[in-house]
Amino acid sequence: MALSAQQIPRWFNSAKLRSLINAVQLTKCFARPGRTLLHGFSAQPQISSDNCFLQWGFKTYKTSSLWNSSQSTSSSSQENNSTQSSLLPSMNEQSQKTQKIPSFDSELFLEELDELPPLSPMQPISEEEAIQIIADPPLPPASFTLRDYVDHSETLQKLVLLGVDLSKIEKHTEAANLLLRLDFEKDIKQMLLFLKDVGIEDNQLGAFLTKNHAIFSEDLENLKIRVAYLLSKNFSKADVAQMVRKAPFLLNFSVERLDNRLGFFQKELELSVKKVKKRREFVYFYVCKFTFMLTANKRKLTETFDFVHNVMSIPHHIIVKFPQVFNTRLFKIKERHLFLTYLGRAQYDPAKPNYISLDKLVSIPDEIFCEEIAKASVQDFDKFLKTL
């Protein structure tokens, strides 16, 4: 490999991925003690890959000038290095770096580079070579936060610019390690293009990836199959996009699990026989509008349902019309219902006068609720709450 000392930095700049992988192999060769969380990430991508050589001091320097000397086919440089031992293999081949060089106590080279006799650090070098020694502080080999690596990893920088919250992802060590190893161009870009294909907008990608960082470990083929399944259930592309946006983990569910959940909701709402024919449209409408229910907590749902049906005495067919009651907190429904009962205005039967619909009960803010529905002031509502 015809490398000159000047070309070395550029070579490293271009071999990001290789250096990533090789670094892993490097660290495997080394017995590095005390490696904890984000391990295997010593001396990584692009610019600072030179650091790994400088970390080990003069040994690296020897290496770089070794390459220099390896260019010259003459053996004059060999003579310069004659002080070193001659355990090294021939320089013409790109051999595996498995042998140990005596003055090193660890492997140092990347695979493609030749083994060369080491130089003494006291040897004078030219200005040009001196200028090309990059001596940035080394990256920590292991860390609990991605902050240490963000300035040196293009992948992480691009993710931050997309809007992904790294501080949340670094809490999950597997996901963080995965992100450090992935290459933006190769792996992440495919995933992003797939997500854009599903229908998630650019500005929503960040939020989606923050919530569902595990999606990088999913197989792209499986994801495509699941999206195809949803589309086969007569949901339009826009609906699938909205579903995925509202419930990011939806794509992580296997097809059987998705099927089970849809079936569960059909049963829970006890659709009558007549509605069996309309079931498909209902589920379609329902799932699109209220995707949260597919991922909601079953116990809380049943508590809310129990209160709304038994205490407020609202029949099923009315509950079905307003599924958003299941998305509001139970205490809100309770407080407002009790206030209306106290005032004598709790009328939920559409046939009777002064009817109050369920969606008005739950979705409007407090001030408007007090003024228009309850026809009382907010202070009265507060006083009532303090008597509960």
Partner 1 sequence: MGSAGLSRLHGLFAVYKPPGLKWKHLRDTVELQLLKGLNARKPPAPKQRVRFLLGPMEGSEEKELTLTATSVPSLVNHPLVCGPAFTHLKVGMGHRLDVRASGVLVLGVGHGCRLLTDMYNAHLTKDYTVRGLLGKATDDFCEDGRLVEKTTYDHVTREKLDRILAMIQGSHQKALVMYSNLDLKTQEAYEMAVRGLIRPMNKSPMLITGIRCLHFAPPEFLLEVQCMHETQKELRKLVHEIGLELKTTAVCSQVRRTRDGFFTLDSALLRTQWDLHNIQDAIRAAAPQVASELEKSLGPQLDTKELPSREWSWESQGPSFILVPEKGAGH
Gap between the Cα atoms of 194 and 233, Å rounded: 20
User: Whole-number minimum distance, CB 365 to partner 1, in Å?
Assistant: 10
Verify binding: residue 107, partner 1, rule CB under 8 A. no
Region of 22 (left: φ > 0; alpha: ψ -120 to 50; beta: rest) is alpha
Return the number of the residue (184 or 253) whose C-beta is nearest partner 1.
184
What is the smallest separation between the CB atom of 143 and partner 1, expressed in angstroms?
Answer: 12
* Residue whose token pair is 């228009």: 372
Q: How far is the CB of 51 from partner 1 (least distance, A)?
A: 13
- Distance, CA of 319 to CA of 191 (rounded, Å): 39
Which range binds partner 1 by CB under 8 A, 116-124, 161-169, 319-327, 353-361? Answer: 161-169
Told to check if 6 binds partner 1 by CB under 8 A, we report yes
Residue 52 and residue 24: Cα distance in Å, rounded?
12
Residue selected from 52, 66, 146, 333 as contacting partner 1 according to rule CB under 8 A? 146
Is position 203 an interface residue for partner 1 (rule: CB under 8 A)? Answer: no
347 vs 361: CA distance, rounded Å: 11
Judged by beta carbon, residue 150 or residue 320, the one nearer partner 1 is: 150
Q: Which of residues 150 and 288 has its CB atom nearest to partner 1 in the complex?
A: 150
Long-range contacts of the stretch 91-98 (C-beta < 8 A, 24+): 91/115, 91/116, 94/1
CB of 334 to partner 1, least distance (A): 8
Q: Are 320 and 269 in contact (CB under 8 A)?
A: yes
Q: Which one of 89, 138, 163, 323 is in contact with partner 1 (CB under 8 A)? A: 163
Select from 32, 211, 334, 345 the one that contacts partner 1 (CB under 8 A).
334
Q: Under rule CB under 8 A, which residues in 353-372 are in contact with partner 1?
A: 366
Distance from C-alpha of 344 to C-alpha of 196, rounded to nearest angstrom: 52
What are the structure tokens assigned to 326, written together? Answer: 């299941």
If one counts every other C-beta atom within 10 angstroms of the C-beta of residue 35, the result is 15
Within 13 Å and on the Cβ side, how many CA atoms surround 187?
Answer: 15
Residue 276 interacts with partner 1 (CB under 8 A)? no
Nearer to partner 1, 37 or 228 (CB): 37
Distance CA 155, CA 319 (A): 48
Least Å distance, CB 359 to partner 1, is 20
Return the structure tokens found at 161: 């610019």
**Contact by Cβ (8 Å): 156, 197:** no
Phi, psi (rounded to 5 degrees) for 150: -65, -35
Q: Between residues 146 and 356, which has the closer beta carbon with respect to partner 1?
A: 146
What are the E-state strand segments in 110-212? none
Residue choice 111, 151, 154, 197 for contact with partner 1 (CB under 8 A): 151
Q: Closest Cα partner for 180 from 230, 143, 222? A: 143
Would you say 10 and 134 are in contact if contact means Cβ atoms under 8 Å apart?
no
281 binds partner 1 (CB under 8 A): no
Q: How far is the CB of 135 from partner 1 (least distance, A)?
A: 9
| Binding piece for partner 1, criterion CB under 8 A, among 62-70, 78-86, 166-174, 247-255 | 166-174
Does 9 participate in binding partner 1 (rule CB under 8 A)? yes
Contacts of partner 1 in 114-133 (CB under 8 A)? 128, 131-132
Contact criterion met (CB below 8 Å) for 169 and 175: yes
- Per rule CB under 8 A, is residue 89 in the interface with partner 1? no
> What CA–CA distance (Å, rounded) separates 24 from 181?
9
Min CB(329)–partner 1 separation in Å: 10
Four-point Cα dihedral 337, 342, 344, 349, nearest 10: 20
Pick the closer one to partner 1 by CB: 231 or 301.
301
Query: Count residues contacting partner 1 (CB under 8 A)?
Result: 28
Of positions 95, 103, 157, 204, contacts partner 1 by CB under 8 A: 157
Site for partner 1 (CB under 8 A): which residue of 3, 17, 24, 160? 160
What lies within 8 Å, CB to CB, of 92 at 6+ separation is 114
Binding interface with partner 1 (CB under 8 A): 6, 9, 128, 131-132, 134, 146-147, 150-151, 156-157, 160, 163-168, 331, 334-335, 366, 382, 385-388
